[in-house]
Structure 1
Amino acid sequence: MDVEVRGPVDLSSGDHQHLVRKAADEGSQPKPKQTKATAPAPEPKQTHGKPHPKTDQRADSYVVDISEETTPEESNAAASPFSEESIRRAFIVKVFLLLSAQLVITGTIIGVFIFCPAFFAVLIVLACCEKMRRQVPANYILLGLFTVLEGLMLGAVSVFYGAEEVLWAIGATALVTLSLTLFALQTKLDFTLLHGVLFVSLVVLFIYGILLLFIRSYWLHLLYAGLGTVLFSLYLVMDVQLMVGGSHHLKLDPEEYVFAALNIYLDIINLFLFILQLIGR
């Protein structure tokens, strides 16, 4: 008896077990003894027509086809690029990181317009809480938050002007800031003595700006922008002299570096806004 494996057979159906068991039972049965024939074998008759094809296959030869069965789910999993868990995990992490960044940026921009009181709250804390603006890293965090909010608000304001006007305003602000800073460092005039006068002028300018909300006059708005530019130019000179100290009447403590940076930053931003109004008109 011969068992030969040639083609595929479904292992899950159990057909191969039946074939193997049948082959084993037939192999265990004894074969009948063959006796020698004394009579001469008759000659084969001559037949007309097609002869039957001869076959070499024995009667006790069985063909068992065994193949490994693969389900459609297993074949799809092998071909999928996410078959490895590490690749899938890295993919999920990247998606959620990008999504988080998008949501943070969007929420920050929306917060500028909805939570405007936060801008003034941070400004008040930095200006009035001396202990807070000297404490590291709280002072850096508050200053960074204030800078981000101020920058976003400036971006919202700049939308109402043309790109060329904004660029001219930036260039003019940079030139004025550099010139006034060099002047404050070289001049022998003490602008820190004008601290009270400048504060009163700022209050008057603030009231003037409120009145202009109800008065539509080109020349009054132009005058307001000019006065604001002059006022914050003087403030810039005074704050630079407060920073350097020396022989000036007023000076800042060396620990007040955050407060000094905040003062000069606000001077430059307000100077830019007033110059932008002048150029825009």
Structure 2
Amino acid sequence: MTSKTDDNPPPYEDALHHPKYVNDPRNPQHGSSLPPPPSYSPSPGPPGYWAQEGVYPPAGMWAAPGHSPSGMPMTIPTLSGGLPASNTGDMDDFLSSQWESTSIRHAFIRKVYLILTAQLAVTFSVVAVFTFVEPVKMFVIRYPGFYWASLVVYFVVYCILVCCKEPRRRFPWNIVLLGVFTIALSYMTGTISSYYETTAVFIAIGVTAVVCIAVTIFCFQTKVDFTSCGGFLCIASILLMIIGIVTAIVLSFQYVPWLHMLYAGIGAIIYTLFLVYNTQLLIGNRELAISPEEYIYGALSLYIDIVHIFLFILQVSGAATE
């Protein structure tokens, strides 16, 4: 019977100085007839699958324990949205493009509101002339042809502005069309205001200012996307036109104050929704947005909404004061 110590390998020091297990089958000598270990030969197969001819990985495949294989890129998860840690240039380009687009949008918004402020200043200056200058006010009331002429001029200029899209992008044309349209709408608004009392005009101006400020703050703070409601607003505008035609026919036979106020209230609500829609198009962080090159279109859309809100509220306040 052999002891257990004979089956165990010797310590490292004994094997180094007294190699008595040289003839052990587990330690083949040089020149032995035992076959060498199989070598690795690459063959097609799925990733991570070693070929059947060999069992050893290629030399240099694993540099050291805990290190990635040589020839394979190391990717460290970062906050850069999956970009490699070493590729910082792409991340810098991404951040710079985002900052540039944000700065362009902010400059576009400032330009639109600057143009809008100038338009509203011209419009309400004309309204003040038609409201406070008594000879001008009485002249428009005495000759209503000037009122109908203002409507014709407004619609003609509006059609030209809608049809001529290409000249609107050029510098001389956009300034000319913007000025002509502002004067036409200001003239129409002034002639309409001359038929109302001064108190009703002041009430309409104050309510319009409050509505516009509230809508602007709401659009910059809310997460609700109104740019996807374009179809609903189109249907609402068609219904408003139909209601206006019916109201004009009914009021031509008999004046009904509550019907006139109802129509004006519905119109003010619909154009307030249009103001929300166009303001969110201007901001640009929703489903739809206006191109930064279309600052003329952005200013005119807000300007038309605000003026129509003023006119509808003026009808409500005028009927209430009477």
TM range (shorter): 0.5 to 0.7
* 1:124 aligned partner: 159
Query: Partners in 1 of 2:167 and 2:147 — Cα distance?
Result: 23
Query: Partners in 2 of 1:111 and 1:132 — Cα distance?
Result: 30
Letter in 1 for 2:184: L
Deviation track 1:122-174 (CA, whole Å, cap 9, x = no partner) reads 21232333212111121111111111111111111011100111011001101
CA RMSD of aligned residues (A): 2.2
Query: Partners in 2 of 1:227 and 1:254 — Cα distance?
Result: 32
- Residue 115 of structure 1 and its aligned partner are, at CA, apart by 6.8
Q: TM-score, normalised by structure 1?
A: 0.58
Matched, 1:158 2:203: no
* 2:178 aligned partner: 143
Q: Indicate if the aligned counterparts of 1:112 and 1:149 stay in contact, CA closer than 8 A.
A: no
Deviation track 1:41-74 (CA, whole Å, cap 9, x = no partner) reads xxxxxxxxxxxxxxxxxxxxxxxxxxxxxxxxxx
Query: Partners in 1 of 2:283 and 2:161 — Cα distance?
Result: 20
Provide the aligned length of Structure 1 versus Structure 2. 174
Query: Partners in 1 of 2:291 and 2:316 — Cα distance?
Result: 36
Any idea what SS the aligned residue of 1:212 has?
Answer: helix
Matches within 5 A, 1:58-207: 113-114=148-149, 116-207=151-242
- Residue 116 of structure 1 and its aligned partner are, at CA, apart by 4.4
Letter in 2 for 1:243: L
Query: Partners in 1 of 2:280 and 2:150 — Cα distance?
Result: 34
Query: Partners in 1 of 2:153 and 2:264 — Cα distance?
Result: 26
* 1:257 aligned partner: 295
Matched, 1:239 2:239: no
Any idea what SS the aligned residue of 2:290 has?
Answer: coil
Which one is further off, 147-156 or 129-138? Answer: 129-138
Query: Partners in 1 of 2:169 and 2:187 — Cα distance?
Result: 26
Query: Partners in 1 of 2:154 and 2:215 — Cα distance?
Result: 28
Q: Which has the larger radius of gyration?
A: 1
Any idea what SS the aligned residue of 1:161 has?
Answer: coil
Query: Partners in 1 of 2:295 and 2:166 — Cα distance?
Result: 13
Which one is further off, 122-131 or 268-277? Answer: 122-131
* 1:230 aligned partner: 269
Give % identity. 41
Q: Indicate if the aligned counterparts of 1:133 and 1:256 stay in contact, CA closer than 8 A.
A: no
Query: Partners in 1 of 2:150 and 2:177 — Cα distance?
Result: 16
Cα gap change, 1:237 to 1:125, in 2 (>3 Å): same
| Structure 2 gap segments, 5+ residues each | 1-144
Query: Partners in 2 of 1:220 and 1:115 — Cα distance?
Result: 25
Q: Indicate if the aligned counterparts of 2:151 and 2:188 stay in contact, CA closer than 8 A.
A: no
- Residue 232 of structure 1 and its aligned partner are, at CA, apart by 0.6
Matches within 5 A, 1:207-218: 207-216=242-251, 217-218=256-257
- Residue 268 of structure 1 and its aligned partner are, at CA, apart by 0.2
Q: Indicate if the aligned counterparts of 1:126 and 1:259 stay in contact, CA closer than 8 A.
A: no
| Structure 1 gap segments, 5+ residues each | 1-109
Q: TM-score, normalised by structure 2?
A: 0.51
**Structure 1 segments of 4+ aligned residues over 6 angstroms from their partners:** none
Query: Partners in 1 of 2:147 and 2:257 — Cα distance?
Result: 29
Deviation track 1:71-107 (CA, whole Å, cap 9, x = no partner) reads xxxxxxxxxxxxxxxxxxxxxxxxxxxxxxxxxxxxx
- Residue 117 of structure 1 and its aligned partner are, at CA, apart by 3.4
Letter in 2 for 1:271: I
Q: Indicate if the aligned counterparts of 1:239 and 1:264 stay in contact, CA closer than 8 A.
A: yes
Query: Partners in 1 of 2:146 and 2:316 — Cα distance?
Result: 29
